[in-house]
Each structure stands twice: as structure tokens, then as C-alpha cells.
Structure 1
């Protein structure tokens, strides 16, 4: 007689018994046990087959029972990878450190405690820490280097890698950091091959630090162009040149929009009029990659009207990256809404008049030298 007994919980077979009959000449007989194939993650399972109640004078010797082991199967210890929302994350560099969290999940089985090593690659000077350990278990689950711990509740299968995007005063373009899950150890399991696995499709998370500071520059008027004096031309129009500067960084192509307008803060008699005194303009100048200067010209017109000093304004109305690129950091105007150049046409055509004698008649007169008297008719 044989009997299947001592079955573990959630066994994949049904306990049974039967009888083995040896006829003269038989030395071996086989017992077939059907194991159910399923897709349920399971730890090691085992059952025992016991020989008992021999008949016909037979005896049960050494080896009267055998233990059958069904190894852990169907990813019993889990498949590790970043969650979908953590595979690609964009963050900004703030004036202070900006914390960011990446979630690591354990799919399929959740048996045993796991230790996952990870490391960062890329712009390492912008984040902290740059490597660490994630520990997954039913009760404790996260350890990032020293003193980084998170406690998991029963059955929770997600751990968090906490990073800090470090702040600095350096304008920077977009930077990338790749966080890679290097290996996973199933604690207490000798057979490494049957432990938890890292999903190669979810083993890396891309952390993108958006442009920050002013990597595309601060746009404004050159100091010499903020207040410009010019004379009214005598006969034909002349051009005055204004200089736009890009400070800090000079990455990318930048479009600078500008527009002329009246100097409304001055009295009407000191406001230049368009198009009588100058040609109004509304345009855009392109600053190429690494260019720090751009020039624009405004045309001053002649006339014969006597005028006091008159002024008009040239305002930088906006800046943007060429190509429609967007991001946290864009080129910017040094003084938004107030980045104005003032052009003054000096007074011309004798606006205050010309003082002179008006001699219309010559009158004779005599002088007596004795008394210094003047005699007029």
C-alpha cells in the first residue's frame, strides 16, 4: 500500500492512496502523481509518499517514504521593475532642493524579502543620492543608502526611491539621469536562479531635469543703447543703430521681438511723432546659437519744422526660442515690460528762434566832439 500525505497548503495535487502488486520477478514499480499546472505564483511545495501495510511476507525497509518537492514557480518571488509612471519623469530644478520619487513595483508573487541594488548614471552632480538599496518584504521595504527607510504594510508591493534634485546657480540646458535596477537578491534563498527577477523592460527610469536658470540668456538693451541722442538729418533720412545683448548663457536660437512707440511720459512738445520724425517699426531679430549681440536700425526722417528735443521708445516686447521649443526655462527679458530704449532727436531748425538786428534804413547823424552829443535829424 502507498499513501500521499503531509500535503502543504494550496497544494497542486489531491492526496490519494493505492496498492502496488509485485508479481514474481518484479523489482520496481512506478507510482504516478498528477501535478496541476496553473499560473499562480507559489513558494516551494512538498508532499510525502509513504509505503505502508506490506502483505505476503514483505517488509518495508529503509526508504519507506519519499518527500517530493515542487520548487517555487510562476515568479513566486516577484518580477521587479519601475512602475509605468516612473519610467520617464520630468522635474524642475528649484531654488532649493526638489525631491522626486520613483516607484519600484513587485509584480506576480510576493514571497520572501528582496534586496534590490540600483545606481544612477548621467548628470550625477545634479542629484542625491546616486546609488542605494531597496529592500522589499512584507513588513519592511525600502532602504536608500544610509538612513533612508520606508515601512511597508502587510502585502504592499511598491517601494519608493527618493531622490533630490540639487539646486545651483548655474544656468543649464536639459539634463538626463538614468536610474538602473542592477540586481535583486532573494533573502534566505540559496538557489539564485529561482529567486526574484528584474524585468529588463522596466529596469531603467529616465529622470529629465528641465532647463533651468537662463541657459538661453537674459535679453536686454546694451547700456549704450538705453539712452541714445541723435541729430535730425539735413536732407535725407539716416539710420540709428541699437544693440541688444544676451547675458548669462547663449544656448539656442532666440527670436527677439521689438516695437517702436511714443514717449508718453514726456510733454507733447517733446514727443517724436511717427511717421513725421521717424519710421515706426515692429519686427523681430534672431540671435543665433552662441550669439550675444544683435543690431536693429531705426530710420530718422528730416523735416523743416523747428522742433525741441523729441524722444520715442523702442520696446523689447518678447523673446522666444526659435522652433517652438518649450520647457521650464525659456529665454527671458531682463526687465519684463520695462526693457525700453529711448531715442532722442536733438532740437533742430532753430525752435527757439534767431535774434538779430533788423536794419531797414540808414540814417545820417553828426557828432560834436566837444560835448560828445549826437545829433539826429
Structure 2
């Protein structure tokens, strides 16, 4: 049984049924394999495998390379079938349907419009197509008596810094039509936020929220640039912030840790870390600490009071779901339902929404967890 279809239990409670918030989830990393097969057939795109099951296996095997660069190569396939308005709308609709099936009540879906122009769409048309799919799925959920809200995060590819301002302007242009924030994605090392400073200046002048991929494939200098040059309100992954922590000593009951100035700043200002445990393992983001989920610095960051959130990053490539990620952490670190609730409250508080809507999410999470 695949991760999206499997039920995960903790303390006898279905994690799938609990209300959850997803902040770091890539549209081109969350396609259904069968959808890829069908869309590829429509446009004549050759795939590495011709049926959905083998295609799923191909994605998962290629994604376990231990390198972000290798991990990103799988996106050539998914992006390839997302080049028409109909294809984008279908992928977005199914994306939201799958979030809802996993118990997500608020999700932010990030994607890079500049990657979807090969068949003649304009940047604005790509955003409109994705939003049409989102709107259709949300309406379907509501018609069935459910609840979900979804916002777009427009990503600019950091290896194309000359286009970042255009994508920033695109995001602001659609701020009243479903776009809630801006992101930078792609190869992190060698492309700090400082190379896109003009775009971030523009976004700041427009009071538009920003998250930046940092602390995944590069270290503290990348995080520092995301905060200083990018004015990031959240850090995409951010796990290598743990490099700024020093374990002074340990005994049978406690670990004593000192924080550097950078990590202290992130903690004190409650800047959310958008961690994605399985993906962080696959891309080598936590290689310094080990090779299993139990080696992930997530628990250390959580125990120290950082605003940690749990995410999937790319559900297809990692063969995962948000419920699965939470179950993996609970198994690795002995978490209880109260801990899982704390992660959802962290994410809701960090959502790129007006305060009133964030408070509504917080209430929905509290009610949902109290009901079990």
C-alpha cells in the first residue's frame, strides 16, 4: 500500500484524520504516477517507465541518491507534463484532493511558473491555470462538507537570478488571486539570496511574505543570506541551522547546548523551519548527523524551542505523505499526540495568512486534537 493510501496510527488514533497544516510541498513533486502516464501520452512525452507502479518505483529509486542535485533531476519528468493549462489545472486539482485526503486543512503549494512556458503559456496564464485547479478542488471538498484552504507560493529558480524580479512581480500581481507568498528554489550552493537582492527589496517594499530554501544543500552562510538579504519569514528546510548549535556536555538525563548568534536569532524571532524529514535524508541535508530519521536534528531543535514544522517537500519523489512524516518522527523520537499537535500549531502560526485566518486554523487544530 502506498503512503497516500496507508493509515498511520499513534496512541490508537489515526494520524491521517487529524487536522494538519502543510507549508512546504512542491506542486511538481506531488503528481500521481497515473496522471503522469496519462498526460505524457496526451503530449507524446517519453517516460522512463510506461506504467504507474514502475514509474513510482523509478522516482523513489532516483530520489535516494543522497544529493539535492541528483534529486532535482527527477523533476524533468513531472515538469514535462505540466506545460498546458489543462495539465496544470488537473495536477493542481488532484494535489489539493490528496492533501484533503491526508487531513490537511491548510496547505501552501509552491511551484516555479518559469518552468511551464514550453508550450506557449504566459507566466500569468500558468498562475491562473493552477488557481483554477485549486479552486475546483476546494469547491468539491466544501460541497462534500469538508474544509480546506490552499494558497500558492510562487518560486523563482535561484540558478536564474535575472528572472527573479519578474517572478516576484508576478506573485504580487496575483496576491488577491490565490498567491500568498514568494519562494526561491533550485540548487542552493553557489546561489545565495544576495544574488537576488533586488527582487527581495521589491517584495519588502510591497509587504509581501517570503520564504527561502536555505540550510538544505548549503550551510549557515546560506541561512544568513536568506534572513539578511531575503528577509525570509520562514526557512525552507533550515535543518543545517543545527550547525550553529554546540553540544557542551551530556549526562543521563540532559543535553546542554549553546546557541550561536544566528540560531539564537532564528529561535527568538520564531522563524519557522520547514523541515521535511524523508527528503532531508534523501538529499543529504542531514548527512553531518547520520543516515536515518533518528539522526535528524529535528528533535534537538524541537526540544530547544525552535518553531519546527513537518512537511513532505515532494510526495511523489519521497513516496510519502504528511501523515507518514509525522509517524516516522513519532517512531524515531517517541512523540505523542501532544507533540504532533505542537507541530501543527507551529505551522498554522507561520502560515502566510492574515492573523484572523491563522487564529481560525489554530482553533480548528485544537478542536480536532481535543476530539480524539
Task: Provide TM-score, normalisation by structure 2.
Answer: 0.17
Larger fraction in strand: 1
Task: Provide TM-score, normalisation by structure 1.
Answer: 0.17
Higher Cα radius of gyration: 1
